[in-house]
Structure 1
Amino acid sequence: MEPALPAGFVNASRAFVAAAADLVTGVQRRFVGPANMRSARDNAWAATLEDRARNEARAELTREVAALVARRSSRRRLAKTR
Protein backbone atom coordinates (compact mmCIF):
# COMPACT_ATOMS: atom_id res chain seq x y z
CA MET A 1 0.00 0.00 0.00
CA GLU A 2 1.15 3.48 -0.80
CA PRO A 3 1.22 6.20 1.83
CA ALA A 4 -1.57 8.79 1.83
CA LEU A 5 0.95 11.62 2.00
CA PRO A 6 0.85 12.70 -1.69
CA ALA A 7 -2.95 12.95 -1.80
CA GLY A 8 -3.00 14.82 1.49
CA PHE A 9 -0.33 17.19 0.24
CA VAL A 10 -2.25 17.84 -2.98
CA ASN A 11 -5.48 18.49 -1.09
CA ALA A 12 -3.71 20.83 1.32
CA SER A 13 -2.10 22.68 -1.59
CA ARG A 14 -5.44 23.07 -3.33
CA ALA A 15 -7.03 24.34 -0.14
CA PHE A 16 -4.21 26.84 0.36
CA VAL A 17 -4.48 28.14 -3.22
CA ALA A 18 -8.26 28.42 -2.94
CA ALA A 19 -7.97 30.34 0.35
CA ALA A 20 -5.34 32.65 -1.13
CA ALA A 21 -7.53 33.32 -4.18
CA ASP A 22 -10.51 34.10 -1.94
CA LEU A 23 -8.35 36.48 0.10
CA VAL A 24 -7.08 38.32 -2.99
CA THR A 25 -10.60 38.55 -4.40
CA GLY A 26 -11.91 39.90 -1.10
CA VAL A 27 -9.17 42.52 -0.91
CA GLN A 28 -9.78 43.57 -4.50
CA ARG A 29 -13.52 43.80 -3.93
CA ARG A 30 -12.95 45.98 -0.85
CA PHE A 31 -10.57 48.36 -2.65
CA VAL A 32 -12.32 48.77 -6.00
CA GLY A 33 -15.88 47.93 -5.02
CA PRO A 34 -18.07 45.08 -6.25
CA ALA A 35 -19.28 47.06 -9.27
CA ASN A 36 -15.71 47.58 -10.51
CA MET A 37 -14.50 43.98 -10.23
CA ARG A 38 -13.03 42.76 -13.50
CA SER A 39 -14.16 39.43 -14.83
CA ALA A 40 -12.48 37.09 -17.26
CA ARG A 41 -14.81 38.47 -19.93
CA ASP A 42 -13.67 42.03 -19.13
CA ASN A 43 -10.04 40.96 -19.33
CA ALA A 44 -10.61 39.17 -22.65
CA TRP A 45 -12.39 42.20 -24.13
CA ALA A 46 -9.58 44.52 -23.01
CA ALA A 47 -7.03 42.18 -24.60
CA THR A 48 -9.05 42.12 -27.83
CA LEU A 49 -9.15 45.92 -27.95
CA GLU A 50 -5.40 46.10 -27.30
CA ASP A 51 -4.77 43.59 -30.11
CA ARG A 52 -6.92 45.63 -32.50
CA ALA A 53 -5.10 48.84 -31.60
CA ARG A 54 -1.69 47.17 -32.00
CA ASN A 55 -2.70 45.71 -35.38
CA GLU A 56 -3.99 49.08 -36.56
CA ALA A 57 -0.76 50.79 -35.47
CA ARG A 58 1.26 48.13 -37.30
CA ALA A 59 -0.84 48.57 -40.45
CA GLU A 60 -0.46 52.36 -40.29
CA LEU A 61 3.31 52.03 -39.96
CA THR A 62 3.37 49.62 -42.91
CA ARG A 63 1.40 52.13 -45.01
CA GLU A 64 3.76 54.96 -44.03
CA VAL A 65 6.87 52.91 -44.86
CA ALA A 66 5.36 51.87 -48.20
CA ALA A 67 4.62 55.52 -49.00
CA LEU A 68 8.20 56.52 -48.13
CA VAL A 69 9.62 53.74 -50.29
CA ALA A 70 7.33 54.71 -53.18
CA ARG A 71 8.36 58.36 -52.93
CA ARG A 72 12.03 57.46 -52.80
CA SER A 73 11.85 55.14 -55.81
CA SER A 74 9.87 57.72 -57.80
CA ARG A 75 12.55 60.34 -57.03
CA ARG A 76 15.23 57.93 -58.24
CA ARG A 77 13.34 57.29 -61.46
CA LEU A 78 12.87 61.01 -61.96
CA ALA A 79 16.58 61.68 -61.35
CA LYS A 80 17.60 58.98 -63.88
CA THR A 81 15.44 60.48 -66.63
CA ARG A 82 17.04 63.93 -66.31
Structure 2
Amino acid sequence: MSTISPNQSIGLTTISRTVASLAVGMVHTLERAVVGEGRTRTARGNAWEAVCADRARAEQRAELERLVAELAAARAAARDRREARTGQPVS
Protein backbone atom coordinates (compact mmCIF):
# COMPACT_ATOMS: atom_id res chain seq x y z
CA MET A 1 0.00 0.00 0.00
CA SER A 2 1.40 3.38 -0.91
CA THR A 3 1.55 6.24 1.50
CA ILE A 4 1.47 9.91 0.71
CA SER A 5 4.27 11.94 2.13
CA PRO A 6 3.45 15.39 3.53
CA ASN A 7 4.96 17.11 0.48
CA GLN A 8 2.91 15.13 -2.09
CA SER A 9 -0.46 16.37 -3.23
CA ILE A 10 -3.45 14.17 -3.91
CA GLY A 11 -4.06 13.98 -7.64
CA LEU A 12 -7.28 13.74 -9.57
CA THR A 13 -6.73 10.02 -10.24
CA THR A 14 -6.34 9.30 -6.56
CA ILE A 15 -9.61 11.05 -5.80
CA SER A 16 -11.38 9.26 -8.70
CA ARG A 17 -10.16 5.87 -7.52
CA THR A 18 -11.22 6.61 -3.97
CA VAL A 19 -14.69 7.75 -5.04
CA ALA A 20 -15.11 4.71 -7.31
CA SER A 21 -14.00 2.36 -4.54
CA LEU A 22 -16.43 3.91 -2.07
CA ALA A 23 -19.26 3.78 -4.62
CA VAL A 24 -18.65 0.09 -5.32
CA GLY A 25 -18.57 -0.67 -1.60
CA MET A 26 -21.80 1.23 -1.03
CA VAL A 27 -23.60 -0.52 -3.91
CA HIS A 28 -22.44 -3.92 -2.67
CA THR A 29 -23.61 -3.19 0.86
CA LEU A 30 -26.93 -1.82 -0.38
CA GLU A 31 -27.50 -4.89 -2.57
CA ARG A 32 -26.87 -7.23 0.37
CA ALA A 33 -29.27 -5.23 2.54
CA VAL A 34 -32.04 -5.09 -0.08
CA VAL A 35 -31.98 -8.57 -1.61
CA GLY A 36 -30.45 -10.53 1.24
CA GLU A 37 -27.08 -12.09 1.81
CA GLY A 38 -27.85 -15.32 -0.02
CA ARG A 39 -29.24 -13.66 -3.13
CA THR A 40 -26.46 -11.24 -4.03
CA ARG A 41 -25.12 -11.53 -7.57
CA THR A 42 -21.75 -13.15 -7.94
CA ALA A 43 -19.50 -13.96 -10.88
CA ARG A 44 -20.40 -17.62 -10.46
CA GLY A 45 -24.11 -16.81 -10.44
CA ASN A 46 -23.76 -14.61 -13.51
CA ALA A 47 -21.84 -17.33 -15.34
CA TRP A 48 -24.48 -19.94 -14.46
CA GLU A 49 -27.26 -17.63 -15.70
CA ALA A 50 -25.35 -17.19 -18.97
CA VAL A 51 -24.97 -20.97 -19.34
CA CYS A 52 -28.69 -21.48 -18.70
CA ALA A 53 -29.59 -18.76 -21.22
CA ASP A 54 -27.30 -20.36 -23.83
CA ARG A 55 -28.93 -23.73 -23.26
CA ALA A 56 -32.42 -22.24 -23.55
CA ARG A 57 -31.49 -20.52 -26.83
CA ALA A 58 -30.03 -23.77 -28.17
CA GLU A 59 -33.22 -25.65 -27.26
CA GLN A 60 -35.37 -22.99 -28.95
CA ARG A 61 -33.16 -23.10 -32.04
CA ALA A 62 -33.40 -26.91 -32.20
CA GLU A 63 -37.18 -26.76 -31.81
CA LEU A 64 -37.46 -24.20 -34.61
CA GLU A 65 -35.24 -26.31 -36.88
CA ARG A 66 -37.42 -29.36 -36.13
CA LEU A 67 -40.59 -27.43 -36.99
CA VAL A 68 -39.08 -26.13 -40.23
CA ALA A 69 -38.02 -29.66 -41.19
CA GLU A 70 -41.56 -30.94 -40.49
CA LEU A 71 -43.04 -28.15 -42.58
CA ALA A 72 -40.66 -28.87 -45.48
CA ALA A 73 -41.49 -32.59 -45.31
CA ALA A 74 -45.24 -31.86 -45.28
CA ARG A 75 -44.92 -29.55 -48.30
CA ALA A 76 -42.89 -32.17 -50.17
CA ALA A 77 -45.46 -34.86 -49.37
CA ALA A 78 -48.32 -32.59 -50.54
CA ARG A 79 -46.44 -31.83 -53.74
CA ASP A 80 -45.83 -35.55 -54.34
CA ARG A 81 -49.54 -36.30 -53.83
CA ARG A 82 -50.53 -33.60 -56.34
CA GLU A 83 -48.05 -34.96 -58.88
CA ALA A 84 -49.38 -38.49 -58.38
CA ARG A 85 -52.97 -37.32 -59.00
CA THR A 86 -52.28 -35.24 -62.09
CA GLY A 87 -49.43 -37.26 -63.52
CA GLN A 88 -47.49 -34.05 -64.14
CA PRO A 89 -44.83 -32.35 -62.08
CA VAL A 90 -46.06 -29.24 -60.35
CA SER A 91 -43.77 -26.26 -60.48
1:59 aligned counterpart, secondary structure: helix
TM-score normalized by the length of structure 2? 0.77
Pair 1:52 & 2:55 matched = yes
Counterpart residue number, 1:12: 15
Identity among equivalent positions (%) equals 41
Higher RCO structure (Cα 8 Å, ≥6 apart): 1
CA distance in structure 1 between the partners assigned to 2:25 and 2:40 by the alignment:
14
Indicate the structure with greater helix content: 1
Counterpart residue number, 1:39: 42
Displacement of 1:65 after TM fit?
Answer: 0.9
Counterpart residue number, 1:21: 24
Gaps of 5+ in 1: none
Pair 1:64 & 2:56 matched = no
RMSD: 1.9
TM-score normalized by the length of structure 1? 0.84
2:78 aligned counterpart, secondary structure: helix
Displacement of 1:8 after TM fit?
Answer: 1.9
Bigger radius of gyration among the two: 2
Can you list the C-alpha shifts for 1:14-51, whole angstroms capped at 9, x where unaligned?
Answer: 21111111111111011112122121101110111011
Displacement of 1:11 after TM fit?
Answer: 2.1
